[in-house]
Structure 1
Amino acid sequence: MAKSSKSVLVVGLGRFGSAVAMTLDAMGQDVLAVDKDPGLVARWSTHVPVVQADMTDVLAIEQIDASQFDTAVVAIGDSVEASVITTGNLLDAGVTDLWAKSVSVQHARILQRIGARHIINAETDAGKRVGHLVSGNYLDYIEIEGAHTVVKIHTPSHAVGKSIEDAQVHERYGITVVGIKSPGKEFQYGSKELIMHRNDELVIMGTEDQIDKFIHDGNR
């Protein structure tokens, strides 16, 4: 298999798996999607490369040469047993960069114990993101590993008209301004001399407490 792009095997073509496969394909990655349901295979066959196979069967793993893929995503959500067996089969085949969707804490724990490198708590992660967006403080929210998050906000009133350096964003709040998007202008990376205007969108990184302090400091 050509290595000009990352090769990714996506197992499971439900809403989550099909979205992953379509996104990767649109990004130019070398994707193969697999599902045992002939109806789903037929539905997605005109959109992404797809084969019908039951990946709980070791023979199917061998037939599609799963070991040749750089990464695998196990997106099976309707059967914990099938998810765990498929994950184990792919790990046994030598796929080390493996992402697996979990549907419960117990499911995630099992996947972690058998060696899945990344656990995707799809519903929990989405729920936390929506909760933060509904709160009205953030325009967008991404939780990253550890205590830090990356959020998009409008410039807080107390920082309007100030440069990143003059506002002492990092010194006072401990956050980092990754970049600024002004209306009608290109995204700019957060150099210290950039001025933060009222309608600018700031992409910032820090802990939730640090970010909230930055947002609300002028109201205290």
Structure 2
Amino acid sequence: MASKINANKSVLVVGLGRFGAAVATTLDDMGQDVLAVDRDAQIVARWSAHLPVIQADMTDVAAIEQIDASQFDTAVVAIGDSVEASVIVTGNLLDAGIVDLWAKSVSREHARILQRIGARHIINAETDAGKRVGHLVSGDYLDYIEIDGPYTVVKIHTPSHAVGRSIEEAQVHDKYGVTVVGVKAPGKEFQYGFKELVMHRNDELIIMGKQDQIDRFLRG
């Protein structure tokens, strides 16, 4: 299992179809505190050896209370086979007090309903891959793009250990193996990552590297 980056994040994933399973396994691989839930006993049995998972029907308020859903920092509603169930579960979790809620939509109308009832993040099932969403839910990345081979491109805020230092001074490549492709400072134009460029607290860095290298750079 990968070492934990955002140690205090706990995530509830509801629905273990292909999309939900990708979100849950990605978060688990990153060391996040994940609990997956599905109402189908066969699906739960299939994933029980790989993830913390329980069987429950989250359209039932009693199930929400039984697993103490209000204690989770974040929830991902990954139900795609029933718009009605998706909306009810989303509403139940919002009522339980989960503010950081991500919900998968299967149509514009579905997305509109989810937005109206208060889902903070609407996931387009056709364009947002589960692995990418898993990384975004973790809270460490502003954006995540997986490319062919072992490399990944991510957008992050400057890690605290690199604030006020140039790319060369922070030894971004020599120490971590990561390449800073570019930097976008608030209110300024995008700049390519030349070695003398100083990284500031609120800058958005576009970096490329292998996953373990990126994780090390985030931790410092």
Report if TM-score (shorter chain) is over 0.5.
yes
Larger Rg: 1
Aligned to 2:55: 52
Distance 1:37 1:110, change over 3 A: same
Distance 1:62 1:124, change over 3 A: same
User: Percent of counterpart pairs with the same letter?
Assistant: 76
Aligned to 2:163: none
* 1:193 shift after superposition: 3.7
What amino acid maps onto 2:43 in structure 1?
L
Distance 1:33 1:186, change over 3 A: same
Q: Deviations over 1:17-53 (max 9, x none)?
A: 0110000000000000000000000000000000000
1:72 to 56, 75, 80: 75
Distance 1:187 1:95, change over 3 A: same
Gaps in structure 2 of 5+ consecutive residues: 1-5, 130-142, 148-172, 183-191, 196-205, 208-220
User: Contact (CA 8 Å) 1:91, 1:115: kept in 2 or not?
Assistant: yes
Aligned to 1:122: 125
Count of matched residue positions in the alignment of Structure 1 and Structure 2: 146
- Give, in whole Å, the separation in 2 of the partners of 1:24 and 1:150: 14
Pairwise CA RMSD: 3.1
Gaps in structure 1 of 5+ consecutive residues: 127-148, 154-181, 195-202, 205-220
Q: Deviations over 1:56-82 (max 9, x none)?
A: 000000000000000000000000000
Distance 1:89 1:187, change over 3 A: same
Distance 1:152 1:69, change over 3 A: closer
Aligned to 2:133: none
Aligned to 1:81: 84
Q: TM-score, normalised by structure 2?
A: 0.59
Partner of 1:13, secondary structure, is coil
Aligned to 2:101: 98
User: Contact (CA 8 Å) 1:5, 1:28: kept in 2 or not?
Assistant: no
* 1:150 shift after superposition: 8.4
The alignment status of 1:188 with 2:179, answered yes or no, reads yes
Compare relative contact order (CA 8 Å, sep 6+) and give the higher one, 1 or 2.
2
- Give, in whole Å, the separation in 2 of the partners of 1:12 and 1:70: 17
Distance 1:99 1:150, change over 3 A: closer
Could you list the structure 1 runs, at least 4 aligned residues long, displaced by more than 6 angstroms after superposition.
149-153
- Give, in whole Å, the separation in 2 of the partners of 1:119 and 1:5: 23
* 1:122 shift after superposition: 1.8
- Give, in whole Å, the separation in 2 of the partners of 1:111 and 1:59: 22
Partner of 1:61, secondary structure, is helix
What amino acid maps onto 2:31 in structure 1?
G
Q: TM-score, normalised by structure 1?
A: 0.59
Distance 1:151 1:11, change over 3 A: closer
Distance 1:152 1:84, change over 3 A: closer
